[in-house]
Structure 1
Amino acid sequence: MALGYPLSSRLANRRADELIPEISPTAAPEPFLPLLAPSPLTPFANSTIPKLSGLCVLNFTALTNMMVVTSTDCMAAFAPLLANVVCCPQVETTLVILIGQSSKHTNTLALNGSLAAHCLSDFEQILVGQGANDSLSKICSVHSSNLTEGSCPVSDVAEFESTVDSANLLAACGKIDIVNECCEQLCQNAILDAATKLAQKAYNLLSLDGSHVLSDHSTRINDCKSIVLRWLGCKLEPSRAKEVLRGLSNCRINKVCPLKFPNMSHVIEGCGTAISNRTACCSSVENYVSHLQRQSFVTNLQALNCAASLGTKLRKANITQNVYSQCHISLKDFSLQVGTQESGCLLPSLPSDVVFDKSTGVSFLCDLNDNIPAPWPAASQLPASSCNRTVKIPALPAAASGQSSFESKDAKALLCLMVSAALLILM
C-alpha cells in the first residue's frame, strides 16, 4: 500500500485563516521563489491503515497512483483552500473513473444505494489514511447518492451503448483540446447529446405505464451526464480519462467567481460622494479585499470574474470611479495570500495538481505572469469572456488567450510555488 504523508495534528487542527499572514493587498506582488522545507514530513505508520467495509465493488488498487494524487490534492490543511480548483475536481474525477473502470466487470455504470454508501466511506478512509482531509464529503459536497444512477433511466453498459452514438462520443471526448474545449465545446456538446438521449428513455417508459409524473428535466439530464462521464471513464485509459474530466471540470469552474462577498457598507461609505477622501476610500477597499483573500485560492479566470462581480456591485452602489486603479488592486488580490513575499497566488486556468516531495514539501503551480491590474467594469458590463477574442484585457493570462502553456518571455513569470507544511508549522 502506498504510503501517505500527513500534516502534524497541530497544523491540521488549526483554522485555515490562521495559516494566512496579514498582508496588505496593495503591495506589488513579485514572482514567487521556491521555499524549501526545513525538514521532510513524517510518513504515516502502519497504524493508519484504513478500516474498509469489504463490501465495495470498486477496485481502488487498480488506481493506486490516482488515489495518491487525490489524497495529495486534498491534503489536510490545504483542502479547504484548494477545494474549488484542485481538491474537489480531483475527488469527483477519481470517483467517476473508479465506477467507470468497475463497469468492465459489473456491466453497470452506477452503484445501488447500499453499495454507494460503503464505497464512498471506503474511498474517504483510504484518502485520509494517505494524509487527506477527513471532511472531504462536507468540503466537496459529495454524497453517496452521487455514485448512483440518480434519475437517469439507463445505467447498464449494453443499453447505454445501444442508446447513444458511442463512436461519436468517443471521437469527441477521447482526447480534448484542453485549452480550446471550453470555448468550442466539442466534447461537452457530445456529452449533452448522449445524456439527452438517455433521459428521453425515461419519458418513453413513463408514457407506456400511463404515469404523468415527470422529474425535473434538467435534473434528469444532469444525472445522465454523470452516467456518460462514467462510460468515458470506462473506455479511456485512466490517465487520459483524468485529463479529459479535469479539463471539463475546469471549463465549469472558470466561468464563475467562487468567493462570497460580505457586506460592503464600509466600502460604499468610504468611496461615496465622488471619493472625496482617497485615503479613506482605499483603506476601506483594502480592508474589504483582505477578507476575500482569506477564503480560497482562485484561478486567473476566476479572478477576472471576481473583479467584475465586485466592481459591478460597487457601481450599483453609485461608485462609478475606478477604485481598482486608484487603490492599485490587482487580480492576485482576489486570491489567497501566501508566504512572506506579500503576493497572492493565482492558480492556472488549466487543471493542475498539488505535488508532495519529502525533501521540499508541498508545491503547486501559480500563474504569476505580471502584476495584472483588476479591470474595472463599464456600466452594465458583463464579465469579459475569455472565448471572445475581440475582448482586450491587459496582460490576460496566457491560457485564457488560447496558448498551450503558461510560459512567458520572462522565466520568472511562471514559477512553482513551494509551500512547505513544515514551514507553516513554525509560523
Structure 2
Amino acid sequence: MECLIIIYNTRSTVSYRALLLFIYIFNLQHALSRKSDLDTKNKFILSDPPMGILDPIEISPSTLPRNAYPAEPLSPMVPTFPSSYQPNLTGRCPVNFTQISPIIEKTASDCSVPLAAFVGDVICCPQVNSLMHIFQSTYTNGSNTDALVLNKGFANDCFSDMMNILASKGASSNITNLCTVAALNLTSMMCPVKNVSSFEKAVNVSKLLDACSNVDPLKECCRPACGPAIMEAAMKISMQGGGSGFLGNDFAGSGNVGIDMMSDCKGVVYAWLARKLSLETANSAFRMMTGCKVNKVCPLEFEDPSPVTKACGNTSSPDPAVCCSAFHAYIKSRKKQIIITNIQAINCATMFGSMLQKSGVKTDLYELCDIDLKDFSLQAFGQQGCLLRSLPTDIIYDNLTGMSFTCDLSDNIAAPWPSSSSVSSLSLCAPEMSLPALPVPQTSRSQDNGVNRKIFVLALALFASTIAL
C-alpha cells in the first residue's frame, strides 16, 4: 500500500510512473515466491523466530504440525505436547481405571516427558506415591471385600496396566526407577493387618480421620498432625498377630526387616484413609506427607570442597577473583541437573556453608561471590535458576505455553551463610526462621507477566535440550 501511495502522489512523467509500477509488481511477485517456499503441504521446517519477537504465540495442540524430519529438534518457541496413544493392557486387572481418572491424568501431567527427569523429587514422585495409595484402595474397595492389599498376581498385572496407562498419556516410562515404586508396594506383604475389619479393631479410626481429613499445608511440616497419626496407626497394626512390632525384639539383628514392615503397614494405613476420604482430599494429604519429607533434605551431593578451601584459604580476606572462580566452578560441577524447592535450596546452602566453615573458610563466600538461592537449582540456556515453592505444585498444560510450572523465589535472593558450622542448628520451623522476602514489585501485573515469560522460556528450553540429546 505504501508503494501505491507513492505512485499516486508523485508528480512525474508517465514513463517514470510505469517504472515505479514495474518495481512494485516485481517485489510483490518476489514476496509471493518467498511465501510459497514455506508451504507446509510440501515441507515443514521449524526455525527460530525473528529477533525481537519474544512473546509466545497461541497455538492449539490439535493444529500443531508434525515434524517431517524427526532428527531435527523442534524449535524452543513452539509449545510441545506429549503424544498420546491407546495403551496395551493385560486385561487381568479387575479395576475400573476411570474411577480414578482425575488422579491418573494429574500424575501423567506431573511426570510428563521430558520434565519428569528435572522435577522427579519435587513434582512427579509425590504424585506417583499418592496414586499408588489411591489405586490400592480403589482396587480393594471395588472388589467388594474388606481387603486393604492386593495379592501378588493382581498387583503385578495392575501395576503394569497403571504404568502403561500413564505412558500412553505422555508420562515418562522411567517412573519406576525415578520414584522407586514397584508392584510389591501394592501388596504390603510384611504387615500383619491386611483387611478393614482387623484394621478398625486395632486403630482409633476417629482420631486418624480427624488428623488427616483436613491437612493444613502451612502447619503439617512443622507442627504435624496427620503424619504422626499415620505413624501411630502403623505401629499399632504392626503389633497385631502376636508380633512385637517395629520396636519389639522379633526383628533384632534382622537388618531392614522392621523398617520394611513399618513401610508396609503405613501403606495399609494410607489405603484405609483413601477409602474414607474423597479423591482430591486424599491426594492432597498424601502429597503433603511426601512434600514434608522432600523439603527436609538437600538432594545435592557436596563432596570434598578442597578446591574451594585452597583457593579461598583460611584467611579473612581471600582474593575475590581467584576464590570466586574456584567457588563457581565447584558449585557448577556439584549441582545435579534437577530443579529443587526454595526450602531445599536453603538446606543446601546451609549444609555446604557448614562444610566450608569446618574446612577453615572464615569469609561469607555467598556474599563475596554473589551466590543466590537460585544458583543451587537448575539453570538452562542462560535462564535464571528456578526454585519451586515448598508446597506441592503441578505441571500445567495450556495452549499458550505448552507445559509449564510456577517458579518461586527466582529473583536474586541471597543464599544464607550459616551462623555456625553445625548443620543441626538449622531449623526452618523456628519462629525466627522464614524464607527471604521477595522485593516489593512496582506493579503486581507487570511482575506477574514477567514471571509468566520466565516460566514459558524455561519450560520450552528444557524440552529443547532433552529432545536434542
| TM-score where L is the length of structure 1 | 0.81
Bigger mean CA deviation after superposition, 289-298 or 90-99 = 289-298
Question: Which residue number corresponds to residue 76 of structure 1?
Answer: 113
Counterpart pick for 1:246 among 255, 277, 287: 287
Please say if residues 355 and 364 of structure 1, whose CA atoms lie closer than 8 Å, have aligned partners that are also in contact: yes
Q: How far apart are the structure 2 equivalents of 1:94 and 1:296?
A: 23
Q: How far apart are the structure 1 equivalents of 2:292 and 2:69?
A: 36
Q: Please state if 1:307 is matched with 2:365.
A: no
Distance 1:10 1:305, change over 3 A: farther
Question: Which residue number corresponds to residue 110 of structure 1?
Answer: 149
Q: Please state if 1:143 is matched with 2:179.
A: no
Please say if residues 292 and 335 of structure 1, whose CA atoms lie closer than 8 Å, have aligned partners that are also in contact: no
Amino acid corresponding to residue 117 of structure 2 in structure 1: P
Amino acid corresponding to residue 319 of structure 1 in structure 2: V
Q: Please state if 1:324 is matched with 2:366.
A: yes
Q: How far apart are the structure 2 equivalents of 1:8 and 1:423?
A: 14
- In the TM superposition, what is the alpha-carbon distance from 1:190 to its structure 2 partner? 1.0
Distance 1:9 1:129, change over 3 A: farther
> Greater relative contact order: 1 or 2 (C-alpha under 8 angstroms, separation 6 or more)?
1
Q: How far apart are the structure 1 equivalents of 2:166 and 2:361?
A: 47
Please say if residues 338 and 344 of structure 1, whose CA atoms lie closer than 8 Å, have aligned partners that are also in contact: yes
Amino acid corresponding to residue 181 of structure 1 in structure 2: E
Please say if residues 292 and 334 of structure 1, whose CA atoms lie closer than 8 Å, have aligned partners that are also in contact: no
Structure 2 alignment gaps of length 5 or more: 1-61
Q: Please state if 1:225 is matched with 2:266.
A: yes
Please say if residues 36 and 361 of structure 1, whose CA atoms lie closer than 8 Å, have aligned partners that are also in contact: no
Please say if residues 40 and 358 of structure 1, whose CA atoms lie closer than 8 Å, have aligned partners that are also in contact: no
How many residues in Structure 1 have an aligned counterpart in Structure 2? 387
Counterpart pick for 1:389 among 431, 434, 442: 431
Please say if residues 37 and 361 of structure 1, whose CA atoms lie closer than 8 Å, have aligned partners that are also in contact: no
Q: How far apart are the structure 2 equivalents of 1:368 and 1:346?
A: 6
Q: Please state if 1:186 is matched with 2:222.
A: no
Question: What secondary structure, in the 3-state scheme, does the structure 2 residue paired with 1:415 have?
Answer: helix
Q: How far apart are the structure 2 equivalents of 1:205 and 1:154?
A: 11
Question: Which residue number corresponds to residue 100 of structure 1?
Answer: 137
Please say if residues 114 and 463 of structure 2, whose CA atoms lie closer than 8 Å, have aligned partners that are also in contact: no
Question: What secondary structure, in the 3-state scheme, does the structure 1 residue paired with 2:407 have?
Answer: strand
Greater Rg by CA: 2
Question: Which residue number corresponds to residue 27 of structure 2?
Answer: none
Deviations 1:130-178 (A, max 9, x none): 1111111111111222111132111101211121111111111011111
Map residues 393-412 of structure 1 onto 2, 5 A cutoff.
Answer: 394-395=436-437, 410=444, 412=447
Question: Which residue number corresponds to residue 160 of structure 2?
Answer: 121
Counterpart pick for 2:331 among 289, 293, 306: 289
Counterpart pick for 1:235 among 251, 276, 280: 276
Q: Please state if 1:357 is matched with 2:398.
A: yes
Question: Which residue number corresponds to residue 99 of structure 2?
Answer: 62
Q: Please state if 1:134 is matched with 2:173.
A: yes
Question: Which residue number corresponds to residue 404 of structure 1?
Answer: none
Q: How far apart are the structure 2 equivalents of 1:12 and 1:293?
A: 30
Deviations 1:190-223 (A, max 9, x none): 1111111101114x2579xxx9566644432232
Q: How far apart are the structure 2 equivalents of 1:335 and 1:285?
A: 16
Structure 1 alignment gaps of length 5 or more: 20-34, 399-406
Please say if residues 100 and 234 of structure 1, whose CA atoms lie closer than 8 Å, have aligned partners that are also in contact: yes
Bigger mean CA deviation after superposition, 157-166 or 54-63 = 54-63
Q: How far apart are the structure 2 equivalents of 1:139 and 1:319?
A: 36
- In the TM superposition, what is the alpha-carbon distance from 1:326 to its structure 2 partner? 0.3
Deviations 1:76-106 (A, max 9, x none): 2111110110011111111111111222233
Distance 1:97 1:316, change over 3 A: same
Counterpart pick for 2:210 among 167, 171, 181: 171
Question: Which residue number corresponds to residue 451 of structure 2?
Answer: 415
RMSD over aligned Cα, in angstroms?
3.3
Bigger mean CA deviation after superposition, 283-292 or 230-239 = 283-292
Q: How far apart are the structure 2 equivalents of 1:111 and 1:272?
A: 59
Amino acid corresponding to residue 263 of structure 2 in structure 1: N
Name the structure where strand makes up a greater proportion of residues. 1
Question: Which residue number corresponds to residue 30 of structure 1?
Answer: none
Amino acid corresponding to residue 307 of structure 1 in structure 2: A
Q: How far apart are the structure 1 equivalents of 2:269 and 2:288?
A: 16
Deviations 1:235-270 (A, max 9, x none): 111111111111111111111101122443322222
Amino acid corresponding to residue 301 of structure 1 in structure 2: I
Q: How far apart are the structure 2 equivalents of 1:317 and 1:9?
A: 56
Question: What secondary structure, in the 3-state scheme, does the structure 1 residue paired with 2:313 have?
Answer: helix
Counterpart pick for 2:78 among 26, 38, 63: 38
| TM-score where L is the length of structure 2 | 0.74
Please say if residues 94 and 242 of structure 1, whose CA atoms lie closer than 8 Å, have aligned partners that are also in contact: yes
Question: Which residue number corresponds to residue 29 of structure 1?
Answer: none
Question: Which residue number corresponds to residue 377 of structure 2?
Answer: 335
Q: How far apart are the structure 2 equivalents of 1:315 and 1:271?
A: 11
> Sequence identity of aligned pairs in percent?
35
